Structure 1
Amino acid sequence: MKVVCVLYPDPVDGYPPRYARGHLPEIEVYPGGQTLPTPEGQDFEAGELLGSVSGELGLRQFLESRGHTLVVTSDKEGPESVLDRELPDADVVISQPFWPAYLTAERIANAPKLKLALTAGIGSDHVDLDAAIKRGITVAEVTYSNSISVAEHAVMMILSLVRNYLPSHKFSEDGGWNIADCVSHAYDLEGMDVGVIAAGRIGQAVLRRLKPFDVRLHYTDKRRLPKEIEEELGLTFYETAQDLARNVDVVSIHAPLHPETRGLFNTELLNSMRKGSYIVNTARAQIVDRDAIVRALQTGQLAGYAGDVWYPQPAPPNHPWRTMPFNGMTPHISGTTLTAQARYSAGTREILECFFDGKPIRDEYLIVQGGGLAGTGAASYTADEDDQKS
């Protein structure tokens, strides 16, 4: 079979000859009891840069030893891209949320042999799920592999915004000592109301990490959490994201992108929030209205916006989020630490082993299978009901 793997480019100075740390902490099980990826083998050292082109997710030796062909590229944009040229006879396409190979309905139509669309990491909204359902393509992702990575990043961004860290660091870097400039936009997080949109694995991890900061915690989700978790964390539940947003100082977004969340944070909702609120978005950029966010920061309705998700990705140089005031934007990096890469690379191999050997793929890894939403996908995404087979 032919496997096309779309990864982000290598570092500008070349593939790293060495790393800051010589080892990674060993994690035996994810919170909640799910086991880590369990591939039959592994052809990389944990802590290596695996998510870039030269890293190849550590897959080449495994795939070629089984007689498969591996094509690795970062070139994914436009009809003349390597991705588009390789699609017609591709059996498997692997991508990452950080450098997504957008598998549109048109691209899927141009890939008649495609059987598996695999996300190395979490998030499959770069795949047209309705088109995949119609074609009977399996869509899978390495669930939970980088959930904690994203949660840590979100908490870091919340603190950075509220404490005005990035502008203060810039003053220091530039040789200044602008204390008044720094603190005129800085506050304590303690005592604030912090809300999470979607309390799945990432959202719950954020809530648990914020609890020691003595904040009041709020959440909304399609499924209410068990009473014991609400009591343990002191959570206040809201039926809708709109109700939550109006009653908190900080919003952290962790919902998947689907028709119900697309454009959720529009001008009307932003204007209903407390003046000087903060938003952190490590989920998907299109959950918020791009230009409405810019306007809210310019008027002061928002005191800060941070995130690592953009649309499209990579974002063009003139994207307004690069220069809007009080932003803490980064490239899409929260879920692709070297720690996370070791897990999602191992999970990618586990899924491929199951796929090639005709074994069941873990239910928690599945998004689409057998002509309908499946596994985690059935709990997290929505699709056109007419597309799903009975």
Structure 2
Amino acid sequence: MEDLPYALLSHSDGSRGLPKRYEDIIKQHFKIIYLEELNNNKDLYAPKIQALLLWWHRPVVTKELLDSLPNLKVISSSGAGVDHMDLKLISTYGLKVTNTPGLGDDSTADMAMALMLASARNVVQGNAISHAPDTRDFDFNWVGEDITESTLGIIGMGSIGYAIAQRAKAFRMRILYHNRNRRAVEEESAVAAEYCSNMADLLQQSDFVMVAVKLTPQTDSMIGRDQLQMMKATAILINISRGQVIDQAALVDALKQGVIKAAALDVTYPEPLPRNHPLLSLKNLIVTPHIGNATDKTRRKIIQKVAVNAARILKGLPVNDIVEAK
């Protein structure tokens, strides 16, 4: 049997650790060392570790950690986003960095639709009413909003945004999108999407605004007070990208003052929000704990890719998911 290389992971189980049910996937390619084992016996394990596998941003990649691993060759991270790593720092160590783009597109798009449907049709509030001990009757004049044949504006038409558009087409929605680059005409036609070069045009026309962009200096706080004021008073805002993309203080005011009708967020900043954060007191807001791609099938695909990418790097084989420092 091949003598497997060593890989460092943060810890096992818990809210941030690698689930034990996924360990066998990694063990096909690596011997696993957890951070506690490393810290308890650095002389033994530090020289052996060639791969650092990040499971949802853990362990945090610091200069101290990198300095302690003299034979590290690759950092393989779960998920498409890399904003949790200092890529410029990592590049000074001559390390390869990989991620897992695309694997969570369908599950994240499904979650986006779930948030849109839940917010439009009062699912969360309705569930609370149905469970409430003092409920004696239902208000049949309490109504929500239609999804079918309404207008959806997608900000960020990458692979996830496009997967959302594919689903929205089945609801016969009018689909507008704003993106740094326009999609090919054939791709637009396939989902009947209309390109808006000016984001303001999209915001002014949309019944639902879906944010699906990467977090970059250009997208940080891209939805602020001015953008919220452009939206319809009946509009609903959904964010499945990163919390920092929306000015949360501006969103609190917009929801309180009726500038927009409601919002649904799978991401916030920070995560979780402080328990006294004003967003959490709003009845016209749904917040979920960053579970866009949180399905067992998707997570298995992701950890498999994390391990395979790192193993291929160590073997000198080509890998498509290389992340370059910018």
Structure 2 length-normalised TM: 0.84
Q: Does 1:101 align with 2:58?
A: yes
The amino acid across from 1:93 in the alignment is L
C-alpha contact (below 8 Å) 2:223/2:246 kept by paired residues: yes
C-alpha contact (below 8 Å) 2:174/2:192 kept by paired residues: yes
Would the alpha carbon gap of residues 150 and 96 (structure 1) be closer, same or farther in structure 2, given more than 3 Å must change?
farther
Residue aligned with 2:168, SS = helix
Deviation at 1:283, TM superposition (A): 1.0
The percent of aligned pairs where both chains have the same amino acid is 22
Would the alpha carbon gap of residues 183 and 293 (structure 1) be closer, same or farther in structure 2, given more than 3 Å must change?
farther
Residue aligned with 1:124, SS = coil
C-alpha contact (below 8 Å) 1:116/1:139 kept by paired residues: yes
20, 28, 41: which one pairs with 1:62?
28
Q: What whole-Å deviation, never above 9, does each CA across 1:150-173 have from its counterpart, x for those lacking one?
A: 000000110111111110111001
Would the alpha carbon gap of residues 231 and 171 (structure 1) be closer, same or farther in structure 2, given more than 3 Å must change?
same
Bigger Cα Rg: 2
Would the alpha carbon gap of residues 57 and 332 (structure 1) be closer, same or farther in structure 2, given more than 3 Å must change?
farther
Residue 129 (structure 2) aligns with: 171
Residue aligned with 2:287, SS = coil
Structure 1 length-normalised TM: 0.71
2: distance between equivalents of 1:178 and 1:210?
34
Q: What whole-Å deviation, never above 9, does each CA across 1:21-72 have from its counterpart, x for those lacking one?
A: xxxxxxxxxxxxxxxxxxxxxxxxxxxxx974433553553355xxx45216
Residue 23 (structure 1) aligns with: none
C-alpha contact (below 8 Å) 2:26/2:304 kept by paired residues: no
2: distance between equivalents of 1:8 and 1:160?
33
Q: What whole-Å deviation, never above 9, does each CA across 1:230-255 have from its counterpart, x for those lacking one?
A: 22322110124343223212111111
Would the alpha carbon gap of residues 95 and 231 (structure 1) be closer, same or farther in structure 2, given more than 3 Å must change?
same
2: distance between equivalents of 1:102 and 1:178?
51
Would the alpha carbon gap of residues 101 and 10 (structure 1) be closer, same or farther in structure 2, given more than 3 Å must change?
closer
Q: What whole-Å deviation, never above 9, does each CA across 1:274-293 have from its counterpart, x for those lacking one?
A: 11311111111111112211
1: distance between equivalents of 2:230 and 2:27?
54
Residue aligned with 1:305, SS = strand
Would the alpha carbon gap of residues 232 and 350 (structure 1) be closer, same or farther in structure 2, given more than 3 Å must change?
same
Structure 2 gap ranges (5+): none
Structure 1 gap ranges (5+): 12-49, 74-81, 373-382, 384-390
1: distance between equivalents of 2:11 and 2:177?
34
Q: Does 1:366 align with 2:322?
A: yes
2: distance between equivalents of 1:187 and 1:160?
10
2: distance between equivalents of 1:327 and 1:367?
35
C-alpha contact (below 8 Å) 1:220/1:239 kept by paired residues: yes
1: distance between equivalents of 2:59 and 2:284?
30
C-alpha contact (below 8 Å) 2:22/2:303 kept by paired residues: no
5 Å-filtered alignment, 1:18-57, equals 52-57=18-23
The amino acid across from 1:3 in the alignment is A
The amino acid across from 1:61 in the alignment is K
Q: Does 1:292 align with 2:240?
A: no
Residue aligned with 2:286, SS = coil
C-alpha contact (below 8 Å) 1:285/1:311 kept by paired residues: yes
Deviation at 1:96, TM superposition (A): 3.8
1: distance between equivalents of 2:209 and 2:59?
28
Q: Does 1:71 align with 2:37?
A: no
Residue 155 (structure 1) aligns with: 113
Residue 229 (structure 1) aligns with: 187
Q: Does 1:311 align with 2:269?
A: yes
2: distance between equivalents of 1:7 and 1:221?
38
Deviation at 1:147, TM superposition (A): 0.9
The amino acid across from 2:9 in the alignment is C
72, 96, 104: which one pairs with 1:138?
96
Q: Does 1:335 align with 2:293?
A: yes
Deviation at 1:319, TM superposition (A): 3.8
Q: Does 1:111 align with 2:38?
A: no
Deviation at 1:88, TM superposition (A): 8.2
C-alpha contact (below 8 Å) 1:147/1:202 kept by paired residues: yes
C-alpha contact (below 8 Å) 2:75/2:310 kept by paired residues: no
Residue aligned with 2:114, SS = helix
2: distance between equivalents of 1:118 and 1:178?
54
Deviation at 1:178, TM superposition (A): 5.4
5 Å-filtered alignment, 1:242-257, equals 242-257=200-215
Residue aligned with 1:187, SS = coil
Residue 311 (structure 2) aligns with: 353
5 Å-filtered alignment, 1:178-327, equals 179-180=138-139, 184=142, 186-327=144-285
Would the alpha carbon gap of residues 247 and 314 (structure 1) be closer, same or farther in structure 2, given more than 3 Å must change?
same
Residue aligned with 1:94, SS = strand
Number of residues of Structure 1 aligned to a counterpart in Structure 2: 312
The amino acid across from 1:307 in the alignment is L
